[in-house]
Amino acid sequence: MKKLPFDTWCADYVDFLVKCAIDLHHERIQRAYERVTAEPTITQLEGDCIRVCLDGNCGFVSSFHLVEPKLNQLRAANDNSTASREKPPHHTNQTRC
Task: Kindly state whether residues 46 and 69 are assigned to the same domain.
Answer: yes
Distance CA 57, CA 52 (A): 8
Extended strands (E) in 6-56 = 41-45, 49-54
The pLDDT of residue 84: 45
Task: Kindly state whether residues 51 and 7 are assigned to the same domain.
Answer: no
Task: Kindly state whether residues 79 and 44 are assigned to the same domain.
Answer: yes
Distance CA 29, CA 35 (A): 10
Percent of the chain with pLDDT over 70: 68
Using the predicted structure, report yes or no on whether residue 32 has a pLDDT greater than 80. Answer: no
Task: Kindly state whether residues 95 and 62 are assigned to the same domain.
Answer: yes
Q: Which of 49, 72, 70 is nearest to 59 (CA)?
A: 70
Domain carrying residue 22? 1-37
